Structure 1
Amino acid sequence: MVVATPNKTHVAVLSSPGLGHIIPLLELAKRLVIYHDSHVSFLNITTTESSAAQDHLLRSPSLPNGLDIVDLPRVDVATVCSPDIPIAHKIGVIVEESLQSLKSLLIDLGKPKALVIDLFCTQAFEICSQLDIPTYLFFTTSTAFFAFCLYLPTLDHEVEGELVDLPEPIEVPGCTPVRPEDLADPVRHRKTDDYQLFVLLSSRFPLAAGIFLNSWDDLEPVALKAIRENTFYKQIHAPPVYPVGPLVKQDEPLSSKDAEYLAWLDKQPSESVLFVSFGSGGTLSTEQLRELAWGLELSQQRFTWVVRPPCDTASGTFFNVGSELNDPKTYLPEGFLERTNALGLVIPSWAPQTTVLRHPSTGGFLSHCGWNSSLESITHGVPMITWPLYAEQRTNATFLTEEVKLAIRPEVERGKTVVRREEIERVVRVLMEGEEGKAIRCRVKELKDSALKSLDYGGSSYESLSCVAKQWRLN
């Protein structure tokens, strides 16, 4: 049993599986402990599908005193999920199985002053209502996508047919319209379990006592203003929103291998290296992997590439990142490693992304556009090439390229699904040495300064979190 620190507000934080969810909620927990006089119990959903990277993060000796990791009973994934279940539905099933023990655990913890959950853990609203514990939602992706989710139950009721087949962009109240081709994977096809799950989750969001958003005022002013002022969100009784971002990983333990990668970066010119990584779960097909390799080689730009074995599923390592066997020589084009040895560094499976992005030699980021990675790139002043793979990443890619103009997006030939090597060569050169790349680099550095100010004492995100922490103390 965890015993809360005397004179500290005891808060519990609950994340669904996957680094994309765990990282921002863990950073929230750290900030509550370090800056807002709280004791936090971080409730960790554990499964039989181990992730070395996740274990490394949650067992780090650098976690602050007053932050306790509390494991929920392990879920046997093979027992509760079929092998071909879509990723969102799989997360939902795992969470539902794991949260059967939540009520007794919260009682054992002495009923914390509040529980903070992510979007897949909305079953906790009913459980916490029975215990009279206020429950807050931490939305792990963009404010714009949160606004879409609030609108989704209404959209589901009013529109017939598939959303992805609509002839015009979807007019989300007060926000930038969403093109059907940019819709998140779980809401593209209404007959799927993923779609039904997302409508259900979204319909529960108004039950929250408040919503934490991993964003800040300068990054998403349009969507934030809409949720605060538009009559639609008032009619559905949307909870108060608290932008507390950008909450990204601040530090990470480095292995001896990581030190070798950084030593290579130390030898490269300033802002000369393109970092290529598809997040904690992203994987490419065999054909796309080969085209990317050829495109990087043809560009003749320096690169650091985190590679994983090819996979037909775009989220192939979501649950076990860092645990897979990986020998790049077995799947990269023959001779690629030798031909690019002077310009490139290939890293199997996993790299310390935060450390690489903040390195002075890193000048660009070819990214899957997960929200965590997007925020990390912005907070370190690194412009992007967008390469969305799954979830809401297409929505993020459009936001980054068209709305805030911090990125370049490769074009795919009509009727094709693979980005060809010539297009990859083009966008890499544009970002790393072209005039458009220079303009993007200037804009992203301006937002980097804004992000840092928002988190500093007196900044908008600092004060937003402080406001809620004070409410907890008073209650």
Structure 2
Amino acid sequence: MAKTSHIVVVSIPSFSHQSSIIEFCKRFIHLHHNIHVTCIFPIIDAPIQATLKLLESLPPSINYTFLPPINQQDLPQDGVTQIQLAVAQSMPSFRNSLQSLCSTNPVVALVADPLASQALEIAKEFNLLSFIYYPLSAMTTSLHLHLSTLHEQISCDYIDHPNPIRIPGCIPIHGQDLPGDFFHHRSSIAYKLFLQHSKNFSLANGLLVNTFSEMEESTIKALQEKYNTIENNTEVYLVGPIIQSGSESTKLKGSDCEKWLDKQKPNSVLFVCFGSGGTLSQEQLNELAFGLELSSVKFLWVLREPSNSSYVGPYSVGSDDAILKFLPHGFLERTKEQGLVVPFWAPQTQILSHTSTGGFLTHCGWNSILESVVFGVPMITWPLFGEQRMNAILLTEGLEVGLKVKFNDNGIADRNEIAEVIRALMLSEERSEIQQRIEALKDAATSALAEDGSSSRALSQFGIRMENLMLEK
């Protein structure tokens, strides 16, 4: 009987990261039946409910475990700092868990989220090869890997740097468009923690990046030229596009969303959703509502409660009636023939794949972008936090498959601006050109995911490397 290779995967307390790495594991073991995976999740207070739902669809060769919870009351309120500190405080428990796994079922390698880079150090203690799984763009990956160099080159806060910042293989980026959570203030705890992560990345024996060559050609070329060398012995595996599947796939069928979408014309509906954690202020929510109404375009809007923070965490729970009260007075009545408002959550991949969906107003999270590309849906970019400004620039200036919403000096997009960009994406002559470009990307994504496609080949190469490690043990 063939030996079973066992790899350990560690993520962070963020649904977008957890969902991506879970889907990576499912796709990976689908191609490699002799490999067993254990997913380890640090948590803050309790497991994320949406993650628990995804874990219900795991095949038998993937196990998971949650580390002892870190008390949110003992952490700062800033989301990025909170996550990084929670992961750091979970590392002793992670080491114990890894030691237990190694003693019962020999582990050959570790795959870690970039914000769990401390695990790479622990992997060396156990003589394991280690890899970083990037649930992010190659552009963001290149920034992460180049940060130590940038830190030496630029002495001021990046937001104050007068010239565009050059990241290998990428469109030049202004400092204000770098992830504000990390990069706007070098004195912040978040930045100092992330700088340490960037120094740990050199410990990895390879990079698994959730993208494909046609999506980010020049950036991928720069990464491969730097890392795919005999001297460096660090391989770059392009394993994307990996998007959500499985447990979500049946949730549209028979729902109000499906019934409403089925009544609409092909490519006529704008899907509006800010991901699993994004939210708007009450003022901005009002302007978006009026903008949708003014556009006269059909829309399906996933509504979340307003907040002065752009991130409130995944999938709020509450009364549908209570959240609908945040909408402007009379909005639902005036738009009852034009749109559908869905409280809290909707099955995004299924909506994007529906023939009636013709546009996507998105916060530009990488998971959402890949889903839109896979189904060939043009985008309106509305970045909120993290690396989303960089992603928006890639979409609008690099790939030219989306249009951007413009914000005023107070950081608000007004209703007229919103209505204008919606009509431009959905109704103008410009739409056909954008549609052609994203259809080409869709075809490339389909080819990458094919049995002999680039993503499948990369996963096969990585799997063979894992199997060979087992034979050496």
Alignment TM class, shorter chain as reference: over 0.9
Q: Which residues in structure 2 correspond to 1:38-437 (within 5 Å)?
A: 38-49=35-46, 51-58=48-55, 60=56, 62-78=57-73, 80-82=74-76, 84=77, 86-109=78-101, 110-185=105-180, 186-229=182-225, 237=232, 239-253=234-248, 254=250, 259-316=255-312, 318=313, 320-324=314-318, 327-413=322-408, 415-437=409-431
One-letter code aligned to 1:131? F
1:366 aligns to what SS in structure 2?
A: strand
- Cα shift at 1:267: 1.3
User: 2:296 is matched by which residue type in structure 1?
Assistant: Q
* CA RMSD, Structure 1 to Structure 2 (Å): 2.1
1:49 is displaced (CA, Å) by 4.9
* Displacement of 1:243: 0.7
Give a deviation string over 1:176-212, Cα, whole Å, max 9, x none.
Answer: 2112221111111111111111211111111111000
Contact 2:43–2:69 (8 Å) recurs in 1? yes
Deviations 1:101-143 (A, max 9, x none): 1122123222421111111111111211111111110012111
Q: Kindly provide the amino acid, as one letter, of the partner of residue 148 in structure 2.
A: P
- When residues 9 and 280 of structure 1 are mapped into structure 2, their CA distance, relative to the original with a 3 A threshold, is same
Whether contact under 8 Å (2:449, 2:456) holds in the other structure is: yes
1:293, 1:76 → 2: CA distance?
Answer: 37
Q: Which amino acid aligns with 2:45?
A: T
Once residues 136 and 233 of structure 2 are traced to their aligned partners in structure 1, the CA distance between those partners, rounded to angstroms, is 17
Distance 1:434 1:101, change over 3 A: same
- CA offset at residue 238 of structure 1? 8.5
The one-letter amino acid paired with 1:44 is F
Consecutive unaligned residues of structure 1, counting only runs of 5 or more, are none
Verify the 8 A CA contact 1:258 1:351 in the aligned structure 2.
no
Q: Secondary structure at the match of 2:246?
A: coil
User: How much does 1:466 deviate?
Assistant: 0.8
Q: Deviations over 1:140-189 (max 9, x none)?
A: 21111111121111111221211111111012234321122211111111
Q: Given the superposition, is the C-alpha separation of residues 22 and 305 from structure 1 closer, same or farther in structure 2, using an over 3 Å criterion?
A: same
2:14 aligned residue: 18
Q: Distance between the aligned counterparts of 1:107 and 1:157, measured in 2?
A: 37
2-structure distance, mates of 1:6, 1:284: 53
Conserved? CA contact 1:139–1:146, under 8 Å: yes
SS of residue matched to 2:140: helix
Looking at structure 2, the residues matched to 169 and 222 of structure 1 have their Cα atoms a distance apart, in angstroms, of 18
CA contact (8 A) 2:206 2:234 kept: yes
8 Å contact kept, 2:70–2:89? yes
Partner amino acid, structure 2, of 1:249:
Q
Q: Structure 1 residues 157, 235: closer, same or farther in 2, change over 3 A?
A: farther
Residues 304/442 of structure 1: CA separation in 2 closer, same or farther (3 Å cut): same
Q: Structure 1 pair 450/287, CA: closer, same or farther in 2 (3 Å)?
A: same
Of 430, 441, 444, which residue of structure 1 is paired with 2:435?
Answer: 441
Q: Is the 8 A contact 1:252 1:352 kept in 2?
A: no
Aligned CA distance change for structure 1 residues 26 and 18 (closer, same or farther; 3 Å): same
User: Which 10-residue stretch deviates more, 285-294 or 91-100?
Assistant: 91-100
Summarize the Cα distance change of 1:8–1:124 in structure 2 as closer, same or farther, 3 Å threshold.
same
**Between Structure 1 and Structure 2, how many residues are aligned?**
462
**Structure 1 residue 324, shift from structure 2 partner:** 4.9
Q: Secondary structure at the match of 2:341?
A: strand
| Residues 1:35 and 2:22 are matched in the alignment | no
Shift of residue 52, structure 1, vs aligned partner = 2.9
Report the AA paired with residue 433 of structure 1. L
1:6 Cα offset (Å): 6.7
* Pick aligned residue for 1:467 from 461, 466, 469: 461
Q: Give 1:45 deviation, angstroms.
A: 2.4
User: Is the partner of 1:135 in helix, strand or coil?
Assistant: strand
If the length of structure 2 is used for normalisation, what is the TM-score? 0.93
* 1:52/1:322 contact within 8 Å kept: no
Deviations 1:35-54 (A, max 9, x none): 12221112122332553322
